[in-house]
Structures are given as C-alpha cells and as structure tokens.
Amino acid sequence: MGATDWIEIGRMDDLARLDTPMHRLDARAKIIVTLAFIGVVMSFPPHALSALTPFLFFPLVLIYGARIPMGPIVKKILLAMPFALAVGIFNPFLDRRPVLAIGPVTITGGWMSFTSILVRFLLTAGAALALVACTGMVRLASALGQLGVPRVFVVQLLFLHRYLFVVAQEGRNVLRSVTLRSSGTRSLNLGVYGSLTGNLLLRSMDRATRVYRAMMARGFDGEIRLVHPHQVRWIDGAFIAGWLAFFALGRTWNLAGGLGHWLTGVIP
C-alpha cells in the first residue's frame, strides 16, 4: 500500500475519472454553484437550523449523481471535524439563554449555534469535497483560471495538491525507518520528533524542487492546459440557473419549516 493510499488523496483523483452526467458538467458551472451554495449557507443567522436542512439536497445530489461512495467523503469530513468543533465548542458555555424547550429538556442558544456551526460545516465541506471528487484538481484549477482567478493562486493550488503526495510519500518513508529502528517503543522523545519534522521538511523541499524542474523541463509556464477543453452546453447553464433558484428559495423561505407546517396543518 502506497503512502497516497494511506491518506487516500489519490482516491479523489480516481473518483474524478468516473464518467457520469455530473462529471461531464462544465467545471466552471460546478464551481459557481458550489461557491454560491457556500455563501448562502454561511449567510444564515447563527441559530438557524431547520432552514439549513433543505440545503443538504445539493451535496447529496452531487454525490449520488456522480456515483461517489460516501466512505471517502465522510472520512475526509471527519478529518477536518476538529477544526469546526474548535470554532463552536465554547458557544454552549457563553450563551446560556434558553431558546427552545422539548418536554423537560431546555435547549440554550449556545447549543443551537454550536449545532448550527456543525451543520454548516457538514454542508459546505461535503459540497466542496463532492465538487473535487466529481471534477478533479487539474480541471478545477483550469476552470478557476478561466473564471479569472489570478494565475499565481491557481498554480499554488495545483502545486499544493501535487506536493501533498510528495509530503505523504516522504512522511511514510521517514515513519517507516523510525518504526524499524525504535525496537517497539511507541513514545520517542520530543527531540527525535523535532529532527524528524525538520528532516521531512528538507526532504519534501528537495523533492518539490525536482518535481518543479521536471515541469519546467517540459515547458510549463504557469498556465494549465487541458487535452480536451470543455465546450459550454445548455445543460451547464440550466445547472447553474436551477440551483441558484433553489438556493434563493431556501434562503428566503424556511422550506423545511413550511413543509412541516403544511403537513401538520393537513394531517390533524
């Protein structure tokens, strides 16, 4: 098993090579819709919860439409989860106003906003990961360039992605050599870890330099070119228009609340 399998970076590229209607959509259309999605989800007030639920529809449609298995997406969401937890963890202690009572349980504003942060994180991280998995990093980078993102950022993004593999590979080699010579001891002193990290950094930099030279040797000038540049089709426009309309509806009215009200109104 290679280092890249270990952290499953390569898995996203594998998924991006599938051929589904979702994969065939123009990368620019998917980027525009995903950015709009993230913007709208983040714009809800801090305690919003039920109004956010219809937005789950977008990442799920991307994931199922592109036939992406849930496993890799969930794993990566869990990997980033501590950051979202760190952002919201103090809210329940800071905001103790009761805002909702379900039977004997009183829910405070802090818990509501903490849950809202987690839901937003799940939605936005899920959508961004689904976007990468059904588009691929090279197509994404090329589309960002076409959308007017400065070339220096696009190239940074592409190199960041490429060097993740490099660092993972080097990290794997260093860890293996430590394990082989640590005689089963699990805890090594801080000094050893310090020099390991330094070593990993230097090795990765050397390797990154060699990769960069190989790219320059084949005429790389900062612009990402694709073998089959995408032609915009009517379906790409429909994809953008349809989702933007849905997001506008979801932002203006609480669709979940409305549906519940309608259902409870009809069924006594």
Q: What are the residues binding another protein (CB under 8 A)?
A: 2, 4, 10, 13-14, 16-17, 136-138, 162, 165, 169, 207, 210-211, 213-221, 223, 225-229
Contact 43, 252 (CB under 8 A): no
- Is the CB of 120 or the CB of 161 nearer to another protein? 161
Question: Least distance to another protein from the beta carbon of 16, Å?
Answer: 7
- Is the CB of 214 or the CB of 241 nearer to another protein? 214
- Is the CB of 62 or the CB of 140 nearer to another protein? 140
H-type alpha helices, 182-254: 190-217, 234-252
Exposed e or buried b for every residue in 147-176, given b needs 16+ CB within 10 A? eeeeeeebbebbbebebebbbbbbbbebee
Residue type, 200: L
Instruction: Report how far residue 246's alpha carbon sits from residue 86's, in angstroms, rounded to the nearest whole number.
Output: 31
Question: Least distance to another protein from the beta carbon of 216, Å?
Answer: 7
Question: Least distance to another protein from the beta carbon of 218, Å?
Answer: 4
- Is the CB of 46 or the CB of 72 nearer to another protein? 72
Token representation of residue 150: 């400065």
- Is the CB of 36 or the CB of 138 nearer to another protein? 138
Question: Least distance to another protein from the beta carbon of 215, Å?
Answer: 7
Kindly list the distances between the CA atom of residue 162 and the CA atoms of 152, 155, 255, in Å, as whole numbers in the listed order. 15, 10, 41
Instruction: Report how far residue 210's alpha carbon sits from residue 214's, in angstroms, rounded to the nearest whole number.
Output: 6
Question: Least distance to another protein from the beta carbon of 141, Å?
Answer: 11
